[in-house]
Amino acid sequence: MTWEAPAFVEVKMDAFDRPDRF
Amino acid sequence: MIALDSRPRLAAKARIRFDRKTARYLLLYPERGLVLNPTAADVAKLCTGEHTVHAIVERLVEKYAPQPRDGVERDVMSFLATLTERGLMQADP
C-alpha cells in the first residue's frame, strides 16, 4: 500500500455499516 | 496539544462510519461529516483511547512499509492536530 497524507473533505449531512478494522 | 505519548480518542459527538455506496469512511458529527481518505480512516479507527500516538504511528509504518517513519509521524500528528482544533478528537494523558 502507498502512504498518502491523511486528508478529508467536509460535507453537510443534509438532503452505514456500524466494519476491515485493524 | 497531542503528543507522541498521548492516547487520542474521538470526541463524544463524533462517530466513524463506513458508507457502502462510496466505499469510504466518514467521520460524522452533528449535521456534518468528513469523508476520509484511506490513511485518514486508518488513523481515526485507531483513535480509541487505548493506543498512544507513538503506537498508532508504528502500526501504520508497519502497514505501509517501506514508508519512512518520519513522514508518517509528521502526517499523523498534523491530522490529529487538525481534528483536535475542530473539536473532533481529544487526547488522554
User: What CATH number corresponds to the domain at position B59?
Assistant: 1.10.10.1150
Q: Is residue B57 part of a domain?
A: yes
- Tell whether A10 lies on the interface with B, counting CB pairs under 8 A: yes
Specify the number of domains making up chain B.
1
Specify if B1 maps to a domain: no
Nearest CA in chain B to A14: B31
Q: What is the mean pLDDT of residues B9-35?
A: 89
Q: Which domain holds residue B50?
A: 7-87
Instruction: Tell me whether residues A22 and B42 touch, CB distance under 8 A.
Output: yes
**Does residue B52 sit within a domain?**
yes
Q: Report pLDDT for A15.
A: 44
Contacts of A19 in chain B (CB under 8 A): 18, 25
**Is the preceding omega at residue A6 within 30 degrees of 0, hence cis?**
no
Is residue B31 situated within a structural domain? Answer: yes
| pLDDT at residue B17 is higher than 80 | no
Confidence of residue A17 (pLDDT cuts 50, 70, 90): low
Q: Do residues B67 and B49 make contact, with C-beta atoms less than 8 angstroms apart?
A: no
B17-40 in b/e form (b: 16+ CB < 10 A) is ebeeeeebbbbbbeeebbbbebbb
| Nearest C-alpha in A relative to B19 | A16
Q: How confident is the model at residue B31 (pLDDT cuts 50, 70, 90)?
A: confident
